[in-house]
Amino acid sequence: MNTKQLLYVLTLYQEGSFSRAADTLNITQPSLSQYIKKIEKDIGIDLFDRTNGNVRLTDAGRVFIEAGKRILDIEHQMENSFTDLASNKTGSLIIGAAPYRAASMMPVVAKQFQSLHPGMHLVVREGTTTELVEEMQHGDFDLALTLLPIDKRFFNYEKVVEEELILAVPGSYPLIPATAVPDRKHPAVDAFVLNGKSMVMLTEAQFMQRQLENMILDYKLSIHPAAVVKSLESQIEFVKAGVGMALMPSGIERFCKQGDVVFYSFAPPLPKREVVIMWRKDQKLSKAAEELKTVIQGIQW
C-alpha cells in the first residue's frame, strides 16, 4: 500500500461516487476506475461493492481503510518531528472544528499563529462533534476544538472557554423587560418569556436543541416551531430576518450588526457549553502544535 493508493481509495470512500471522487482528485472518472481496479487486482480482492450504481466498502475495503489511516497517522507524526527539526518551520498543522467555531474562532487563531510562524499554515477541517472525535481517533488532526464531554481514556484536553446559552431575538421585535445580573453577558430574562413564542430550532441531535427541549419540559412551555435548520450560522440568519427567536451560544454576537438582533441572558442561568482543545493521548504533540494550543488558550474569548 502506498500513499497514492490510499488517497484514491479514501477519496472514493468519502465521496461515495466515482464522479465526485474524480473531481476531487482532479482526474478523469475512467482513470480513477481503472486505478481502483488495478489496486483490487494487485491485492486479489474487491475493496468496493458497485451494486446498482452505488459504491460501498466491502469488508476488505474497511480493513484497507483502517490500516491506511494508521499508516497516514504514522507518516503525519514523522512529518511533525521533521518540521520541529527544520530551522525554517515550514509546513502545516491540521485542526478540526465545528463549522460554527471554524468561522467564529479560527480566523483570530490563524492570524496570531501566522505572526509566530509565517512559514507555516493551518488546515482547518470542519465536522460535527461526532465526526471530530472519530477522525481524531484515526489521527486525522493535530488538534481539535470541540465540546465536553470527552472520553478521557483516549484523549487529553484543556478548557478554552465556556459558552453561555443566550436568547437571540430579532431586532424588529419589541424589547423584553430584563434585569442586570452579575456574571451574565446580557440583561437577563426568565425562561417563561419563551412561552407562546415562535422559535427557530435546530435538528434533534444537536446540543442546543436538547437544551431547548429540556427548558420546554422544565418550565412547561408551549412554543411554536417557526423553522428547523441544521447550523448555528443558518439559525442566526433566520433570527435576523425576523422569523423567530432562538436559543444560541454566546459568541454568536460577532456575526451580527448592532440592531439586527437583541441578546438576553437567562436568570437562572442555563447549563454552559464547555469548549475544549483536544488531542490524542498516544500522540506526542509537535512544538508547533503546542504553540498553537498556547495561542488558542491565550485569546480572550
Query: Between 223 and 72, whose confidence is greater?
Result: 223
The pLDDT of 230-234, averaged and rounded, is 92
Q: What is the pLDDT of residue 5?
A: 84
Identify the burial level of 130 via C-beta atoms within 10 angstroms of its C-beta, where 0-12 means exposed, 13-18 middle and 19 or more buried.
exposed
Listed in order, the ranges of the chain carrying CATH 1.10.10.10 are 1-85
Instruction: Let me know: does 190 contact 217? Beta carbons within 8 Å.
Output: no
pLDDT of residue 292: 94
- Weakest-pLDDT range from 51-55, 128-132, 192-196: 51-55
Across 200-214, average pLDDT: 89
Provide the pLDDT for residue 207.
Answer: 81
The pLDDT assigned to 298 comes to 92
Is the domain spanning 88-162+273-301 CATH 3.40.190.10? The answer is yes
Closest CA to 263 of 153, 150, 184: 184
In degrees rounded to 5, what are phi and psi of residue 90?
Answer: -90, 165
Q: Is the model's pTM score more than 0.85? A: no
CATH class belonging to 165-271: alpha beta
Q: What are phi and psi of 123, to 5 degrees?
A: -105, 115
State in words which class domain 1-85 has: mainly alpha
Question: Quick one: average pLDDT of 219-236?
Answer: 94
What is the maximum span of the chain, computed from C-alpha positions, in angstroms?
72
Where do the CATH 3.40.190.290 domains begin and end in the chain?
165-271
Instruction: Give start-end residues of each CATH 3.40.190.10 domain in the chain.
Output: 88-162+273-301
